[in-house]
Chain A
């Protein structure tokens, strides 16, 4: 079974631009979560989607948004990029039948550099 895939793997943008990152979950998984990882703040939860609906949201500004499609694939968008948005963006998928006990499977991440 293929794992979680994220595209692109690396991205360089300039301040003020916007970016869209893509995540394809493991086949059969219906939930997708997004995380931002930086050396200073560690791993921080962005949002979680299930059945095309946002179920949980972290403490990030409205510039960060996401969506999930009917095939469970997900995209996240960051508008008006700032230098501080440089980070590793990780996507994780899970079944979401019994969340408290389920394993989240992480992708390799997209490394975003904002200049």
Chain B
């Protein structure tokens, strides 16, 4: 299974953008990059995913490096509700999802 590396924790202020990095230097050409987040006392929820091109949805943007060895999840205007653990995961075909330790994001009011 290709591995991802994320910082253990990050902190930001409300209404500011947040950039959450993820390194995946052993990514293969068919690995999709998925981001999930887990709010306190809840199951994980999907945030966004992509293969090669940058992706945007109502929750966030995903910027993927040209060599695909890293990616960045961008929350454009963080709110207190965005405080969660964010997981960057690679998935190829029907292989199992492997969650790392994720990044604990703290949002200051």
Contact = CB atoms under 8 A, between A and B. Distances in A.
Interface string A18-48: 0000000000000001010000001111001
Contact of B101 (A42, A103, A106, A109): A42
B49 interface: yes
Interface string B13-51: 000000000000000001110001010001111100100
A42 B100 contact: yes
Contacts of A44: 99
Interface residues of B, number: 24
Of B46, B91, B93, B97, chain A has the most CB atoms within 10 Å of the CB of B97
Contacts of B93: 99-100
Contacts of A104: 36, 44, 46, 97
Given A90-B44, A92-B43, A101 B98 contact: no
Q: Is the interface of A mostly helix, strand, loop or mixed?
A: strand
Interface of B: 30-32, 36, 38, 42-46, 49, 87, 91-102
A63 interface: no
Given A99-B91, A100-B32, A100-B91, A45 B46 contact: no
B46 A105 contact: yes
A58 interface: yes
Counting chain A residues whose Cβ lies within 8 A of the other chain, the interface size class is 20 to 34
Contact of B96 (A58, A101, A105): A58
A66 interface: no
Contacts of B100: 42
Nearest to B48: A103
8 contacts: A43-B87, A99-B93, A99-B94, A100-B31, A100-B91, A106-B43, A106-B44, A108-B43
